[in-house]
Amino acid sequence: MPGAWTAPCADRRASLETARTDASNRQTEAASSTKSFSRNCPIGAEIAGKPPAAGSATPGVLTKNDKVMRSACQVALARTAQAGWPTGMTRIPYRGFRFPKPIIQHAVWLYARFTLSLRDVEDLSAERGITVSYETNRVWMARFGPLIARRLRRQRGRPSDTWHLDEMFVRIRGRQMYLWRAVNAEGEILEVLVQSRRNKRAALRLMRNLLKKQGMAPGTLVTDRLGAYPAAVRELGLSSAHVRGKRKNNRAESSHVPIRRRERKMQGFRSAGSAQRFLAFHAAVADTFATCRHLVSAKTHRLLRNQAFVAWRQAAILTA
């Protein structure tokens, strides 16, 4: 059975008031986000019971691709109504930017989805007739990347109760740092934390962040033989099964490969803060577009990919 864990609460009354406020606004926010989605997706407008906008597909005639997109839109609408995303309080307008929203969102997606540098994104934009400098791309990533990543993480379902914890060495400005990471049994990245130590205190910080964000305790913890992990588990009082072994944690070891690839492309991280922000953004996008294409048929892969595109567009639209 998963171990029970309760986060400390400094002001229980304030937490209850916040919960009541969120519950009262959930229905209104879900309806608002559904309207926003319907305006931007003809199939979503059909599902919501509204006629498609002018210039969209012919009403009443659905092609095979439309049917696939409709199922993806149904999933996105269900998640929208269930999650009740905030669409008005945390919006950041595109005011002051010379380029329209689709260009900005596409540049951010290219940089996060593929192993590209900022200059590569500049060249890809130039090939399409869009002249934008790599420094402008950097501003877009820093401004909109964390917001889109936050929306994407809210769409993720409940993770499995088997967590793999591991750390890797990274060198930042000549100083050796440690990248602590946690993934579940399916390879979904649960937490990324850049720290300067590799001891019990660092392991405690990673586990506390995990327990707070996931809202649950794991059924099984899988780690290597580092002594900081069992010490942190004992201090937290977790009753989860703890599996330790050199090759039992290959799930976490394999998830380091994309990070090493991006690190080489970026010629190293410039600071611990920038590494933390980029890796958190990269993890959210990687989880969204991870379809396990080697385990599913081509038809299923296309369906999952369409759902990922719907989730991305919905998260990007909500920052508009």
Q: For the full predicted model, state whether its pTM sits above 0.85.
A: no
The contacts found for 315-318 with CB under 8 angstroms, 24 or more apart, are 315/148, 315/151, 315/152, 315/155, 316/101, 316/105, 316/108, 316/109, 316/144, 316/148, 317/36, 317/37, 317/40, 318/33, 318/36, 318/85, 318/87, 318/91, 318/151
Average pLDDT over residues 165-187: 92
Instruction: Specify the CATH number of the domain 162-288.
Output: 3.30.420.10
Q: Where are the domains of the chain?
A: 23-89, 162-288
For 269-304, what is each residue's pLDDT tens digit?
999 999 999 999 999 999 999 888 888 899 999 999
How would residue 58 be classed by pLDDT, with cut points 50, 70 and 90? very low
Task: Report d(CA 286, CA 13) in Å as an integer.
Answer: 38
- Based on its alpha-carbon atoms, the radius of gyration of the chain, rounded to whole angstroms, reads 21
Are 163 and 221 in contact by the 8 Å Cβ rule? The answer is yes
pLDDT tens figures, 200-231: 999 999 999 999 988 889 999 999 999 999 99
| 85 vs 295, more confident | 295
Place of tokens 């931007």: 40
- Report the alpha-carbon distance of residue 4 to residue 233 in Å, rounded: 12
Percent of the chain with pLDDT over 90: 48
**Closest by Cα among 226, 208, 229, 225 to 217:** 208
- Alpha helices of 266-319 — where are they, by DSSP H? 272-288, 298-317
pLDDT at 108: 94
**Position 84 pLDDT exceeds 50:** no
pLDDT for 91 equals 59
Per-residue model confidence as pLDDT tens digits over 12-34: 445 545 555 554 555 454 444 44
Instruction: State in Å, rounded, how far the first CA of the chain is from the last one.
Output: 43
> How many Å apart are CA 68 and CA 302, to the nearest integer?
9
